[in-house]
Every structure is written in C-alpha cells, then in structure tokens.
Amino acid sequence: MENHLDAHYVSMVLVDVERFGDPTRMDNHHLSVRSGVYSALTSAFTASDIPWEDCDVADLGDGVMILVPPMVSKSRLVARLPEHLVDALDRHNRDIEPPSRARLRLALHAGEIHRDEHGITGDALNFGFRLLDAPAAKRALALAAVNLVVIVSEELYRSVVRHDPAAQPDTYRRIDFQTKETSASAWIRLPGDTHERAATLASATPMLAESAPPSTVEPEPEDPVRQVLVAQRRLPRKPQVGLTALVDALLAVPFVASESGRRLLLDNLRAEVANAVAYHPQARLHVFSLVNTCACYDYGIEELLGTVHELEGESPAVRALDATVAALLERPAPGDRSLG
C-alpha cells in the first residue's frame, strides 16, 4: 500500500557561508562566523517583517535552511530581506579580524515539502540547494565587493520579482547552471544597487544599454557574472598599477605555466579578449601579453581571475593570485574580504 503524501507549501531561504572551511579559519573563527550569520539573519528577518519564530530553522554547519510559512508574503523575501541582510552582514564584518567575517550566498525558492519522522524532504527543497551551489553565484560573490549574492529561482523571479519594483528586477541577471543532476536557469543579483545607479550604468555601458530589461529577454550571450558586476559598479578601464606582480602570481598557478594550460585559459575567455592576446613562445612574455590585454578591457582582469578559479579551483597559488588582483583593482584583499 502506498504511503499518503502530505504536502506543505513553504518559501525557502537557504544560505551558505563562502569558504567556511578555509584552512586559515580556526574553530574560534567558525564560532564567530556562525554567531554573526545567525545575528544577521534574525536582524534581517525582523527588519523585513518576517517572523523568525514562525519559521522552521535547520542548522547546516556552514549554512542555514529556513522554511517560511505561506502566510508570509514572498514580496518581503525578495524586496526587503536581501537589503537588510547585506546591511546586517556589513555591521558584523566591521572592525573584526578577517577570518571571523561572513560572506553569504542566499538562495530563494518556494514549493512543496514533505515531513516524516526524520525531518523534511521534497524535490523543491533539493532544487533550492542546487540553486545555492550554482557556479556563477559562487563566482559572482568571489569577485564582488559586497558580502552577499542573491540567487532566485526562475519560478520565483517570473511570479514575484519581475512584477515588484521594490525587488529591483533590473539588477538581476539570468544564469544557466548545472549542479549534480540538475540543469536549470536562475537569476542572481548583488544587493546594494539603486534604481538610479542601475539606470545610469544601463545608459553608460553598451552591454546593458543595447539590451531590453532582463524580465523581457532571453539569456544574453554575455557572461552573466560579468553583467551582475557591471550592475553593481564600474572599475577603471586601465588599472594604474604595475602588472609584473600579477604576471608572477599567474605563473605560480600550475596550469598557467604550461602552454596547453594557457590555451585552455584563452579558450574560456571572451573571444574579443582572447583574440587580442599576442602569442609568445616564452611563457612569461605570453602571460604578460595576456595580462596587459585583459587590463585594457572593462572587467578583463576580473574575468581572468574568475576563469583561473574555475579551471584551477582553490589552492594556495590561487589565493595568492586573489590578493594580487585585489591590490591591482584597489579593493580589499581576500584576506580582508573573501574569507569572511
């Protein structure tokens, strides 16, 4: 006899701490991060008029799963929660040592769940965690100056976000992602933008000015992570810092030191950038040409860094590269920013 399924509709708020298991973090740092995350979440929920005490909260060690009852408007989740949460994270991260700081990915979704004697399950919940693991969201947070990236499911974006000006739908960018057995689309943004700033960037940046609002178009061929970064801020076209240190840091990454590795790296950059890189048989000269070319394009250096992250993964050489790029772009180094 088949078991009767008792489905319950909920909104899902899922968070994950960036680099929680980084080897530079000791147990006291983990405790500080967790305390800061819960303090930020409860503060943001209260400010967003979402009753924390009515939610089901499950601790995940390096993250939190929060199931919000259906009587709470989803508009509060998409229009209020991200801004209040990034403000609360900023307060936590201020004036504490870098390993104790918290930077989060926030996934928002809604759907049916099922309860049994062991806990909660459901296809919608599984999908929510796949959103949280979207590579583009991880890359966007790694490259961003803010402490939060928001990932919203396609369904939630179409039914709620795009209809609500307070949710700032024009600051979202659509992504396609694949994690484990899931292949799907979602929408990401970096909180802290204003409508005025987004409009200014749309008129000042050809990539955005030539496209319709994201609520009315299919995914663009441009890198969606780059689009999110464009919507957040605009960096100088040509960094006014010497590039020698960056060349050295790149050559310290194992795959970059090989010619086949550099070919793979070029294959994963924008065609306009890759085609402009002059080839040199000597590795150092080839990498210098690569760096100098990327520095001439808006977000070229950040695109280079993101591609190295995707191909090499996390390693001491990549962390050293992060710090070098942070100095080049005149923003807080990973030791001051991306660990926490």
Counting beta carbons within 10 angstroms of the beta carbon of residue 209, is it exposed (0 to 12), middle (13 to 18) or buried (19 or more)? exposed
Q: How confident is the model at residue 229 (pLDDT cuts 50, 70, 90)?
A: low
Whole-number Cα distances in Å, 291 to 252, 286, 297, 302, 309 = 14, 9, 10, 11, 16
Q: What is the C-alpha to C-alpha distance for residues 45 and 52, in angstroms, rounded to an integer?
A: 6
Q: Quick count: other Cβ atoms within 10 Å of Cβ 244?
A: 11
**247/271: higher pLDDT:** 247
In the chain, where are the structural domains located? Answer: 7-232, 244-328
Residue 182 has a pLDDT of 80
Dihedral sign (CA 210, 216, 219, 223): positive
Q: How confident is the model at residue 225 (pLDDT cuts 50, 70, 90)?
A: low
Q: What is the C-alpha to C-alpha distance for residues 269 and 184, in angstroms, rounded to an integer?
A: 23
CB 312 within 8 A of CB 254: yes
Q: How confident is the model at residue 207 (pLDDT cuts 50, 70, 90)?
A: very low
Paired tokens of 215: 């609520």
Counting beta carbons within 10 angstroms of the beta carbon of residue 4, is it exposed (0 to 12), middle (13 to 18) or buried (19 or more)? exposed
**pLDDT > 90: what percent of the chain?**
41
* DSSP H/E element including 262: helix 259-267
Q: What is the C-alpha to C-alpha distance for residues 39 and 156, in angstroms, rounded to an integer?
A: 26
pTM: 0.62
Instruction: Select from 159, 184, 176 the least CA-distant residue to 73.
Output: 159
Residue 278 has a pLDDT of 81
> Which residues on adjacent β-strands are paired with residue 115?
120
Q: Is the pLDDT of residue 304 over 70?
A: yes
**156/213: higher pLDDT:** 156
Residue 202 has a pLDDT of 36
Residue 103 has a pLDDT of 93
Instruction: Select from 196, 126, 187 the least CA-distant residue to 155.
Output: 187
**237/180: higher pLDDT:** 180
CB 106 within 8 A of CB 6: no
Instruction: Tell me phi and psi for residue 123, to 5 degrees.
Output: -60, -40
Residue 222 has a pLDDT of 53
User: Which has the minimum average pLDDT: 130-144, 173-187, 238-252?
Assistant: 238-252
**For the chain, how are helix, strand and coil distributed in percent, rounded to 5?**
50, 15, 35
The mean predicted confidence, pLDDT, of the chain is 80
Summarised one tens digit per residue, pLDDT across range 97-146 is 888 999 999 999 999 999 988 989 999 999 999 999 888 888 788 777 78
Residue 233 has a pLDDT of 42
Residue 206 has a pLDDT of 29
Residues 6+ apart with CB under 8 A from 61: 20
- Type of residue at 22: D
Counting beta carbons within 10 angstroms of the beta carbon of residue 266, is it exposed (0 to 12), middle (13 to 18) or buried (19 or more)? middle
Summarised one tens digit per residue, pLDDT across range 17-58 is 988 988 888 999 999 999 999 999 999 999 999 999 999 999
Q: How many residues does the chain have?
A: 340
User: Which has the minimum average pLDDT: 149-158, 162-171, 186-195, 237-246?
Assistant: 237-246
Query: Where does 7-232 sit in CATH, by number?
Result: 3.30.70.1230
CA 331, 333, 336, 339: dihedral to nearest 10 degrees?
120
Token pair 């960096």 is found at 235
DSSP state of 56: E
